[in-house]
């Protein structure tokens, strides 16, 4: 049995907590900003009512065996407040965030060898502070090293698809190709159905092609049809499906602009690759939030 702390109990963190509880093998703690009256995850297999210790004060957090960070990518400083006590005995930290810079974000707070980047892919929406809707399977991919394999073992016996990926760089850049396109919903203030239009589809293709070009320069193995595959995936999604950056804008919360599209622009400049569509998307969203 492992003692596991989940920092950030939004949509992804809630599903992670439900999966770990379903394993029946772990003691799960939820690290949140405020007390929770209750939490239910509507999974594809039925409702799971989370029964876990809820912690709101980082200064009284106990030592644990694993820390799983599921906060937004822009809230690393907030998550880091928990790490001194939770990781006092050297617990590794799995970073379940969007983007391709998991280790870079947490390097100021932790030894690099204790940071495990995790690619998370799960269609999930937070309907209220107490209710999360999981529309499909949770996919978790990690580097194929000892730490990664230990993380995969945490989810043994659960419905999650957790696996070690020999080419993790390609995995996270392929996911970023999908995430980068989600900016269009945030800009249009419409769920996934907005991608059905021909004009919006053409813009999506350009956004993803820019991302793929930068990813290849970073060492990812992305085929020439990745943009078309992303477009088809969005068009196969239920038209009312909501991605996280759209949900954040609708709720007036900060958005993961840099982790999802800004990083493409920044690394594009590094490699001399033009990324005008992503650059425009970033500029427009930054103007929206002031």
Query: In whole angstroms, what is the distance from residue 72 CA to residue 272 CA?
Result: 29
8 Å CB contact between 208 and 177? yes
Q: Which residues are catalytic?
A: 175
For all residues of the chain together, what is the average pLDDT? Answer: 96
Residue 290: band (very low, low, confident or very high) from pLDDT cuts 50, 70, 90: low
Query: In whole angstroms, what is the distance from residue 210 CA to residue 80 CA?
Result: 32
pLDDT of the residue at 5:
98
The verdict on 154 and 235 lying in the same domain is no
Domain-terminating residue out of 117, 133, 166: 166
The verdict on 189 and 231 lying in the same domain is yes
The verdict on 217 and 130 lying in the same domain is no
Q: What is the DSSP string of 60-78?
A: GPPP-SEEEE-S-GGGHHH
pLDDT of the residue at 267:
98
Rg (CA), the chain: 18
Report in angstroms the alpha-carbon separations of 36 from 9, 15, 53: 10, 15, 10
Token couple for 254: 């900060």
The verdict on 57 and 116 lying in the same domain is yes
The verdict on 15 and 146 lying in the same domain is yes
The verdict on 27 and 138 lying in the same domain is yes
Residue 121: band (very low, low, confident or very high) from pLDDT cuts 50, 70, 90: very high
pLDDT of the residue at 288:
86
The verdict on 83 and 225 lying in the same domain is no
Query: In whole angstroms, what is the distance from residue 18 CA to residue 171 CA?
Result: 24
**CATH code where residue 270 lies:** 1.10.1040.10
Query: In whole angstroms, what is the distance from residue 248 CA to residue 255 CA?
Result: 6
Segment 231-243, tens digit of pLDDT: 999 999 999 988 9
Segment 28-50, tens digit of pLDDT: 999 999 888 889 999 999 999 99
Q: Could you tell me the residue range of the domain that residue 198 belongs to?
A: 169-289
pLDDT of the residue at 166:
96
Length of the chain equals 290
Domain-terminating residue out of 166, 201, 227: 166
H-helix or E-strand spanning residue 48: strand 46-49
Phi, psi of 135 (to 5 degrees): -85, -20
Q: What is the DSSP string of 149-164?
A: HHHHHHTTTSS-EEEE
Domain-terminating residue out of 150, 166, 182: 166
8 Å CB contact between 161 and 137? yes
The verdict on 127 and 271 lying in the same domain is no
Token couple for 160: 């999650």
Query: In whole angstroms, what is the distance from residue 284 CA to residue 282 CA?
Result: 6
Average pLDDT over every residue of 96-118: 97
Query: In whole angstroms, what is the distance from residue 141 CA to residue 143 CA?
Result: 7
Q: Which residues pair with 27 in a beta bridge?
A: 3
The verdict on 235 and 116 lying in the same domain is no
The verdict on 71 and 156 lying in the same domain is yes
Query: In whole angstroms, what is the distance from residue 173 CA to residue 99 CA?
Result: 8
The domain tally of the chain equals 2
pLDDT of the residue at 289:
80
Token couple for 113: 């060898």
Is pLDDT of 169 > 90?
A: yes
Query: In whole angstroms, what is the distance from residue 124 CA to residue 126 CA?
Result: 7
Segment 187-213, tens digit of pLDDT: 999 999 999 999 999 999 999 999 999
Give the best-scoring range by mean pLDDT among 35-39, 67-71, 249-253. 67-71
The verdict on 93 and 229 lying in the same domain is no
The verdict on 155 and 72 lying in the same domain is yes
Give the position of tokens 């006092």: 88
Q: Which residues pair with 133 in a beta bridge?
A: 42, 125
**CATH code where residue 82 lies:** 3.40.50.720
8 Å CB contact between 172 and 100? yes
């Amino acid at each position: 049995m492992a003692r596991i702390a989940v920092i950030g109990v939004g949509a992804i963190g809630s599903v992670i907590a439900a999966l770990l509880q379903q394993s029946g093998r772990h003691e799960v703690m939820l690290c949140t900003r405020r007390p929770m009256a209750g939490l239910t995850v509507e999974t594809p297999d039925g409702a799971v009512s989370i029964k876990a210790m809820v912690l709101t004060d980082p200064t009284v957090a106990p030592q644990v065996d694993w820390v799983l960070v599921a906060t937004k990518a822009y809230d690393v400083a907030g998550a880091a407040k928990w790490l001194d006590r939770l990781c006092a005995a050297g617990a590794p930290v799995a970073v379940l965030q969007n983007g391709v810079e998991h280790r870079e974000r947490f390097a100021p707070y932790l030894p690099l060898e204790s940071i495990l980047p995790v690619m998370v892919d799960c269609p999930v929406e937070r309907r209220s502070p107490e209710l999360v809707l999981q529309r499909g399977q949770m996919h978790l991919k990690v580097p194929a090293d000892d730490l990664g394999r230990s993380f995969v073992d945490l989810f043994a016996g659960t419905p999650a698809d957790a696996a070690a990926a020999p080419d993790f760089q390609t995995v996270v850049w392929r996911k970023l190709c999908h995430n980068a396109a989600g900016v269009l919903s945030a800009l249009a203030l419409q769920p996934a159905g907005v991608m059905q239009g021909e004009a919006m589809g053409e813009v999506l293709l350009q956004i993803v092609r820019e991302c793929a070009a930068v990813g290849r320069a970073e060492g990812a193995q992305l085929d020439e049809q990745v943009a078309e595959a992303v477009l088809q995936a969005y068009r196969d999604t239920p038209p009312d499906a909501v991605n996280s950056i759209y949900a954040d804008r609708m709720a007036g919360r900060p958005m993961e602009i840099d982790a999802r599209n800004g990083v493409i622009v920044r690394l594009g400049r590094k490699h001399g690759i033009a990324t005008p569509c992503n650059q425009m998307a970033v500029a427009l969203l930054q103007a929206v939030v002031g």
